[in-house]
Structure 1
Amino acid sequence: MSNQRELFEAAVVERLKESGFLEIEIRTECLVRCDDGYQDELINAGWHYWNAAIAAQSPAANVGPFQARVQPWMMACFGAMIAGDREERNHRFLEEALELVQSTGCTAHEAHQLVDYVYGRATGEPHQEVGGVMVTLAALCLANHLDMHEAAETELARIWTKVDAIRAKQAAKPKHSPLPGPSASEGSPDV
């Protein structure tokens, strides 16, 4: 719940700053907490609608496996061509996997060593490698006290709110490059 509250408050701050309010004003006047809601009636109503939307997307409300529920987002965000582009999906998966291990302490040097190790071996079989990814992801989450299912549901809900920004980032992406945007030396847009 606290993670959802943080996401909600960040969204409120973002929207009200667009209207010219200062963040300190928003946090001290609009986001004053009261029991399980907020003192401001409009913000409180928004919080309850937010929670209703999250409840509607809870695992009990979501029918079908997670993978099948990602597909509608992929289609809405990218369309069939990019959603089904294996090379693009490989690059985005590798990017996210590297961001995860970076966030838990893996160094660039260690990552480069592992790239050399993996590419120095015979190519694996995709079905078995997916199984290995899932088992090692679960083990990594356990070691870092993370709930992989909750994190996945939270991220899917979050990215549904970012479809336009993600489309814009995709449109600005360098053509024929594994990079998701300009390199750090070229300056990366905040999207």
Structure 2
Amino acid sequence: MGGAERELDSLEARLIDAVERLGDAGRAMLRDAAKREGLSVTQAQLLLRVTSPTAGPQSTGSFARWLEVSAPTVSDAAAALVRKGLLESVPDLADSRRSSWVPTGLGGEVAERLHGWRDPLTAGLSAGSPQDRATALRVLLGTIASLNRTGRITVARTCLTCRFLSDEHPDGRAGEWCGLLEAPLGAADLRVDCPEHESAAR
């Protein structure tokens, strides 16, 4: 086997192929779920994000960065969701120039149904051992952190990109530690989307 063939068949290449395959499947499942609700994929993503308990501060810009789309695309999707009675715009009491989107009762019901797109992936992942799942999470979050440091992923509110993360405990023992929670972090404890996240200096 030549060098190029070995590179294409490396463990890293196979992992990338596997992640890409899962991404393709996930996008297809989300697209099907959105279609059943009469939504575009972007509208579905925005509704899911607005209703997420970890969404954090809401603004067109923050949603655009999270979804990796333009601000006008987010505005168009939000306007469509408002017209469909799934979102409403609520003025910010602290700043009259700002407003937030909140789900209507119907919007919450639709978001709950949309969450089901993940069920087949959840079933597949449950076949692995807890240790294997934790290791996979650690590896994937490490890759996300690397891409965030080089600017290829603009929003990464993960433990591995947070200023509160330390690689040792206060008593000097080795192991990752969250300075905000004041608690140790095992691989299975790492968060993908933390509302208290504060970016570490790159």
Question: Above 0.5 in TM-score?
Answer: no
What is the TM-score when the length of structure 1 is the normalising length? 0.31
More strand by share: 2
Q: TM-score, normalised by structure 2?
A: 0.30
The structure with more helix, counted as a fraction of residues: 1
